[in-house]
């Protein structure tokens, strides 16, 4: 099993409010994965094998504690599983002995010439801790997000893909879909007469405790995407938003995912969700 650990120091650009923005943790994961490729003699940017690209298929992470500005973090990525056409990294981010994030990403080799997914070469498979017929990041396939129920209160907003959203192969960078998710849930709350700013003013916060994204098709610079969001679950102090990112021009579904949030008061203690949010979930 091949594993790599790197250290990184958080920057102002990583921060939203008083802690690292939840999508930016995924950028830290890339640092460790790139180091693992390099340390094992694998080429970057899809291994540069006759146009083969390395693509992330799924990502699921849990947030255990926040990181703040100018902290030194330790990022560990382990290539723990490989199936015939998909491999999986397990990830941890720590600050000293404190676990900040745990999770996993699955990856495929994709050839955009019509042949699609490629069988993994031996140079990748030999690095994995275990060979299996299937790898996944969700604890249960039942968690895989589906389309919104017909009676769900759903909000959608259009998002133009900017050049800065894309990676060196021209596709939207994988962490940016979590930014699109935030745009979707912000619009959903606005449609219900709520805003994150108003909640913060009243002493309530909705920190992300878990995030999942399934990447179904690439999006590119110049595309216009639609981020749809609905509330799929709400209890007294916990809620789950579900998302679908699509491209209206051709009707393609680009990504699906969810984020789970807790409701905390100003002192960081569990607090009751506002009734307007609970009603969004009960409408489904």
Domains, the chain, ordered by start: 1-137 (3.10.129.10), 140-284 (3.10.129.10)
Q: Is the pLDDT of residue 232 over 80?
A: yes
Q: With contact defined as beta carbons under 8 Å apart, do 257 and 145 qualify? A: yes
Q: Which of 9-18, 49-58, 85-94, 238-247 has the lowest mean pLDDT?
A: 49-58
Q: Is the pLDDT of residue 20 over 90?
A: yes
Contacts of 202 (CB under 8 A, 6+ apart): none
Among 144-153, 158-167, 263-272, the range with the most confident prediction by mean pLDDT is 158-167
Q: Which of 88-97, 115-124, 212-221, 252-261 has the lowest mean pLDDT?
A: 115-124
Q: How far is CA 163 from CA 12, 27, 89, 158, 251, in A?
A: 22, 17, 28, 16, 22
% of the chain residues with pLDDT over 90: 67
Q: How far is CA 234 from CA 74, 122, 154, 221, 239, in A?
A: 33, 45, 15, 35, 4
Q: Supply 80's token pair.
A: 């723990």
Q: With contact defined as beta carbons under 8 Å apart, do 13 and 21 qualify? A: no
pLDDT at 282: 61
- Average pLDDT of the chain is 91
At 201, the pLDDT band (50, 70, 90 cuts) reads confident
Q: How many CB atoms lie within 10 A of CB 116?
A: 11
pLDDT at 1: 72
pLDDT at 45: 55
Q: Is the pLDDT of residue 225 over 90?
A: yes
Q: For 93-117, what is the mean pLDDT?
A: 93
**What is the DSSP-derived secondary structure letter of residue 270?**
B
Among 120-124, 141-145, 216-220, the range with the most confident prediction by mean pLDDT is 216-220
Q: How many CB atoms lie within 10 A of CB 82?
A: 21
Contacts of 52 (CB under 8 A, 6+ apart): 46, 109, 110, 111, 118
Calculate the dihedral angle through the C-alpha atoms of 254, 177, 61, 170, rounding to the nearest 10 degrees. 80
């Amino acid at each position: 099993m091949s594993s790599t650990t790197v250290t990184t120091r958080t920057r102002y650009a990583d921060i939203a409010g008083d802690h690292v923005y939840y999508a930016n943790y995924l950028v830290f994961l890339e640092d460790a994965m790139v180091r693992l490729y390099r340390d094992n003699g694998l080429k970057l940017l899809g291994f540069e094998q006759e146009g083969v690209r390395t693509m992330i298929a799924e990502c699921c992470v849990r947030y255990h504690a926040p990181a703040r500005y100018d902290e030194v973090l330790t990022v560990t990525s382990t290539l723990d599983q490989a199936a015939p056409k998909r491999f999986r990294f397990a990830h941890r981010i720590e600050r000293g002995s404190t676990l900040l994030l745990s999770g996993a990403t699955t990856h495929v080799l994709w050839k955009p010439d019509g042949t699609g997914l490629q069988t993994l070469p031996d140079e990748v498979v030999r690095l994995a801790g275990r060979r299996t017929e299937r790898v996944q990041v969700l604890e249960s396939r039942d968690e895989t997000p589906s389309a919104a129920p017909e009676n769900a209160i759903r909000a959608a907003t259009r998002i133009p893909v900017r050049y800065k959203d894309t990676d060196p192969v021209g596709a939207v960078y994988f962490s940016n879909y979590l930014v699109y998710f935030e745009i979707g849930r912000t619009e959903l709350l606005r449609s219900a007469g709520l805003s994150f700013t108003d909640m913060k003013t009243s002493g309530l916060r909705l920190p992300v405790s878990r995030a999942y994204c399934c990447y179904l098709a690439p999006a590119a610079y110049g595309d216009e995407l639609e981020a749809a969001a609905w509330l799929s679950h709400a209890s007294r102090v916990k809620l789950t938003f579900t998302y679908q990112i699509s491209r209206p021009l051709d009707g393609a579904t680009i990504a699906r995912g969810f984020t789970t949030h807790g409701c905390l008061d100003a002192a960081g203690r569990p607090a009751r969700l506002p009734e307007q949010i609970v009603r969004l979930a009960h409408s489904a």
